Amino acid sequence: MGIFDFWKREGKESRTGAILVQNSAQAAWTPRDYASFAKEGYQQNVIAYQAINRIAEAVAGVKWTAWRNDTEITESPLLDLLKRPNAMQSGYEFLIAHIGFLMISGNAYMERVKVGTQTRELYTHRPDRMKIVAGSGGMPSAYVYSVGQRNVTFEVDDLGGSDIRHLKLFNPTNDWYGMGPIESGAYAIDQHNEAMTWMQALLQNSARPSGALQTRPDGTLTDEQFLRLKRQIEEQYSGAGNAGRPMLLEGGMTWQSMGLSPVDIALLETKYSSARDISLAFGVPPQLLNIQGDNTYSNYEQARLAFYEDTVIPLINRVADDLTNWLGEEFGGVELRPDLDQIPAIAEKRLALWQMADAAADLTINERRALKGYEKIEGGDVILVNAGLISLADAAAPLKLENGLDGKTIATLVGYDKKAG
């Protein structure tokens, strides 16, 4: 590295970057268990599974457009790359996996494969296999991808460029890794999973509510008998997996029911409440996930519009900016933009806006075109009104003609008889 390169790098470093790293060139390990999030939050929870799929499919379904200096480019190698990023995946499948990893772990890693100086393929990788190697200036010095005992290292240059692109969600307590929605919704996911496990156990064990064991009035238990009975209850009759299991009684003992039924403890409502909390963590309206008991939106169309405006479109813009910053210069300064007009929920809202603009009588032609996203036209700074409409002042004023005759004189000349009508 030359002296000028070193100066350029020093000039771009944050003064606080160096204190983020205690041991330079050491891997910064993620503090969370990705396998647990993937298993309990995606594979075993239907609400989180459906929420992640809804978001990923919505983002993957967007149509990409390429722009250069506010001019749309109809053909670009970058657009072709996004349509077929590699031989094993279509662009749709690729983005579903990429966004899925981001929602589960808060981190998504994309690898580019170059032939010469041109990127020809893109791959997305599992976040739990990727580790960040901390650099001395607060910037990653490398990314290490590990499978078993085999490692692949991707270097990071002085300006932060690399064949790995790390997309992460905001994490207030970690400088290197993002935080996914599953982490904030972990309690709700655990509650929902436990409720499902409890209900399944009740069905399998001919469910009965909990209670107390009573001995005969003249019966007593030795310490050994008491401890054995206590251990038996804890091992064989406690927990969601043993809910409702019949108890074998001996020594004249009787069972006194004391527990509440699943209806009394509102188990179903607890399940639905946790389901709503999960949908809240992901930003998916409960109506879109068919969760009972939630009527936040008056209809399905409003819920779908809120889903796109509040969750999907911000995420699409994040992905577009990330890909543009990473690959845009390589493909001739191209900027990626999503074609939001192709999204049905947004198209319906824009149609309503256009109809409102066309019906407005106090807007110029160019103001209406601006609301529709079109450019101004020459002579468009005028307001068009219905030819049959006149102002209130003109309607109240006496009729005047160019020759000075008023309305009464004209009526007399044409023989109009006011009494005859």
SS3 for 145-168, per residue? EEECCEEEEEEECCCCCECEEEEE
Q: Whole-number mean pLDDT of the chain?
A: 79
Domain end among 180, 208, 226: 180
Q: What percent of the chain has pLDDT over 90?
A: 39
407 pLDDT more than 80: no
Region label for 366, one of left (φ > 0), alpha (ψ between -120 and 50) or beta (otherwise): alpha
Q: Within a domain: residue 263?
A: no
Q: Within a domain: residue 111?
A: yes
Domain end among 137, 158, 180: 180
Question: 227: pLDDT confidence band, cut at 50, 70 and 90?
Answer: confident
d(CA 166, CA 101): 11
d(CA 313, CA 309): 6
Task: Out of 173-182, 201-210, 345-354, pick the least confident.
Answer: 201-210
Cβ burial, residue 142 (10 Å; 0-12/13-18/19+): middle
d(CA 147, CA 30): 16
Q: What percent of the chain has pLDDT over 70?
A: 69
Q: Within a domain: residue 189?
A: no
Domain end among 115, 147, 180: 180
**What is the bridge-based pairing of β-strands 64-68 and 335-338?**
antiparallel
Task: Out of 66-80, 235-249, 270-284, 402-416, pick the least confident.
Answer: 402-416
5 pLDDT more than 50: no
Return the closest-CA partner of residue 129 out of 21, 40, 38.
Answer: 38
Is-contact 202 244, C-beta < 8 A?
yes
- E-assigned strands of 135-274? 140-147, 150-155, 164-168, 211-214, 254-257
Q: Within a domain: residue 224?
A: no
Question: 7: pLDDT confidence band, cut at 50, 70 and 90?
Answer: very low
Of 254 and 176, more confident: 176
What is the per-residue pLDDT across 289-302, written as a single tens digit (0 to 9) for each?
A: 888 766 666 688 88
The DSSP bridge partners found for residue 151 are 146
Q: Within a domain: residue 192?
A: no
d(CA 328, CA 67): 10
| Number of structural domains the chain divides into | 2
- Residue 18, domain extent: 3-180
User: For residue 316, what are the contacts with CB-CB under 8 A and spacing of at least 6?
Assistant: 59, 62, 338
Q: What is the DSSP letter of 304?
A: H
Q: Within a domain: residue 199?
A: no
Of 87 and 370, more confident: 87
Return the closest-CA partner of residue 180 out of 307, 288, 48.
Answer: 48
Q: Within a domain: residue 206?
A: no
Q: Within a domain: residue 387?
A: yes
Task: Out of 14-23, 277-286, 315-324, 339-348, pick the least confident.
Answer: 14-23
58 pLDDT more than 90: yes
Question: 251: pLDDT confidence band, cut at 50, 70 and 90?
Answer: low
User: For residue 378, what are the contacts with CB-CB under 8 A and spacing of at least 6?
Assistant: none
